[in-house]
Structure 1
Amino acid sequence: MIRAFTVLIFGLTAGFMFDYINIPAGWLLGALLFGILYGLSRSDVTYDGVPFKLALTLVGANIGILMERELFGVLGTYFVPLFISLLLTFAGSFCLGWLLFKRAPMLDKRTALFCCIPGGASEIISVSGDYGADSRIVAAFHTARITFFVLLIPLIAGVWSPGDTFELPEESSIFTVEHFVIFVLVIAAASFLNSRWKIPAGALLYAILLGFFLGEFVFDIEEVPSYIGGIGQALIGVMVGVRFDRKTFLRLKQVGFISARIIFLFLVLGFLLAYVFHVLSGASYVVSLLSIVPAGAAEMSATAFALGLAPTLVASLQILRVIAIFLSLPFIIKMIEKSD
């Protein structure tokens, strides 16, 4: 317990330092890099379960408080681009899974295809064993994919995004009693709802909706101190980073160099999907990238918030993407079974 807490403190410190020297999404990247280094060196700390869910609710609450009512009317305009992007995501992922199966003799077909289902990593990992896949390899592959994406995408988004898109709360904003109350209420209520009714990205979704409701109709809150969002991003960063430990690295090494190639091709697929979504929806390419790329709903939402790039829109589209992929999982499994 003490070691886990100490790792979090050092991760937060690294995030603060990266943010202080103006690295894009510095809170997230600094903590992520520290988490990776610690995970590779020690492999004795994990934050799966309740700690990670609490970090999700903190980020979700922050996004929800800043959400505006107009977003719900805008979301409908993105339905067709999102649907087309999802179809292309399924097609691309199936092709990458088949390529992984053909090029990695040690992997059976189901394990290879589960490695390449790009949505709701924790949910995919948890059910992969029930369908006959090697959950250890699936977990290693998804951990590496998300870690690589979370490390790279914020840098790319930060460099490409124009300066006038940054609309983060003012640094001078004070953390008030109202802030404390709303965050406690949202985190507690979202955690309870997620424990009773589990859905993909549930903790994040519940927190966003509750944060919006309380911030819009109960409390009069226009902004939140930027360091609160930074802390949430850093917590997610360090918790994701420590997952990439020595066991993960060794399992990927067993699969061979093809695993690195597939992860890189996933990145290429994400850029292509973002371009398609950008053309069809009219959203900026960077916002499209954060909304569509299969890199984790929480992680991309935190990145969007850190960069001031339509975080509520990104979070909404990422959650819809994850839920759609998870609901489609039974049909994907049937396709896998038919191909056996």
Structure 2
Amino acid sequence: MKRTKLLLLAAAVLTGSLFSYLQLPAGWLLGGLVTGIVCGMAYKRLVFDGWPFRTVLALIGCNIGFMMEPGIFALLGQYIFPLILTLSLTMALGAGLGWLMNRWTDLDPLTAYFCCVPGGASEVIGLSSDYGADNRMVAAFHTTRITLFVLTVPIFIGLTTPADIGSIGSAGPAVSEVSPAVMGVFGICVVVTVLLYYLYKVPAGTLFYGLIIGFIAGHWVVTIDNGLPSVIGGSGQALLGAMVGIRFDRPTFYKLKEIGRPSAVLLGFYFIFSLLLALMFHAATGLSYVTSLLSTVPAGAAEMSSTAIALNLEPTLVSSLHIIRVLVLFICLPFFVRLLQKLIQKQSV
């Protein structure tokens, strides 16, 4: 099993590097994602939960942290009100789609709602079972949602923006040009990030800790002029893509098929809403539309941050906004669930 996992990850990095060489949008990430999906559908799902997945998230988070500039904190303050507006609309969308899923399918209200909670897939799947929802159906829907967005958003950006945008983020120093001390510090940052997550677990914690630790190390521990080698970030994106893609296996497909046509319609609503939400955020902030899309789309924080790295579209801003979104979502989630439970009790009386 371990050998099979290593072969999959090696194939993901190889395919990602090929896609990047061909200048496909977010080539590293898409290459890993396609490799994972093919393996999951043709062979079987390989589980990468636990420290392997957290290590990849830490690598991506620390890589972004090394890129961060102090001015990012002032930018976040400028965008907080548009973020609150779009976040409120996103949470309302989740509740509305959950209501539609409950009406259109035979899923119970709690399961339907958890299927449509916009973001934090791993945490939502874990919480859903605690509240008595069918976490198998929740996992299937969230896996499909994230796979859909990770697969389509880079392609959409590539088709609607200048042709060279996919290759911008590939520039970077060679590994030999970066001192061993810098690489050693980066490795320590990744390890510390993973350990910190297991000591203090919070939603999107691995990415959040990686950002902070990478920022501190990149500004006060070591000095880097041209950033880290692009192959580090690219390999992290490919590995993340493979670990996400492998989740979309045949059992997931069959579970989603049980819901039938409503699942496709609801996912279509998600996608169209994301495009409109990005347009609203773009109008309110003045950020480019593609940056606004990556910052507001209700998909995985790490996945969209990786896409932003690959396309060189404000990765630190994208990741920071996503972390805020996930944290606020999980602060509000218990209140929404209690309200839903009360409504269910009133209807059953």
TM-score, normalised to structure 1's length? 0.96
Worse-matched range after superposition: 21-30 or 152-161: 152-161
Matches within 5 A, 1:19-38: 19-38=20-39
Q: 2:38, 2:173 → 1: CA distance?
A: 30
In 1: Cα distance, 2:179 partner to 2:43 partner: 38
1:116-127 to 2 correspondences below 5 Å = 116-127=116-127
Counterpart position of 2:172: 170
Deviations 1:263-317 (A, max 9, x none): 1111111111111111111111110100000110000000000000000000000
Q: Quickly say closer, same or farther: Cα 1:160–1:168, change in 2 above 3 A.
A: same
Query: 1:119 touches 1:326 (CA, 8 Å); kept in 2?
Result: no
Secondary structure of the residue aligned to 1:339 is helix
2:74 paired with 1:73: yes
Q: In structure 1, how many angstroms separate the alpha carbons of the residues matched to 2:165 and 2:119?
A: 31
Q: How many residues align?
A: 339
What is aligned with 1:154?
A: 154
**Map of 1:237 onto structure 2:** 241
1:179 CA drift (Å):
3.0
Q: Which of 200, 203, 217 pairs up with 2:203?
A: 200
Counterpart of 2:306 in structure 1: which amino acid? A
Residue type of the alignment partner of 2:286:
G
* Distance in 1 of aligned mates of 2:23 and 2:165: 16
Q: Does 2:186 match 1:183? A: yes
> How big is the shift at 1:171?
5.1
One-letter amino acid of the counterpart of residue 108, structure 2: D
Report SS of the residue matched to 1:309: coil
Is residue 2:309 matched to residue 1:308?
no
1:159 alignment partner AA: L
How far does residue 167 in structure 1 lie from its aligned partner after superposition?
A: 5.5
1:13 corresponds to which residue? 14
User: Contact (CA 8 Å) 2:36, 2:241: kept in 1 or not?
Assistant: yes
Q: What is the alpha-carbon distance in structure 2 between the residues aligned to residue 169 and residue 314 of structure 1?
A: 19
RMSD of equivalent CA atoms: 1.4
Mapping for residues 287-298 of structure 1, pairs under 5 Å: 287-298=291-302
CA distance in 2, matches of 1:136, 1:164: 38
Q: State the AA in 2 paired with 1:109.
A: P
* Aligned residues of 1:64 and 1:312 also touching (Cα < 8 A): yes
Alpha carbons of structure 1 residues 318 and 23: separation in structure 2 relative to 1, 3 Å: same
Is 1:259 aligned to residue 260 of structure 2? no
Q: Secondary structure in 1 aligned to 2:79?
A: helix
- Of 205, 217, 223, the match for 2:220: 217
Deviates more, 1:291-300 or 1:151-160: 151-160
> Contact (CA 8 Å) 1:169, 1:224: kept in 2 or not?
no
| TM-score, length-scaled by structure 2 | 0.94
Q: Distance in 1 between matches of 2:194 and 2:159?
A: 35
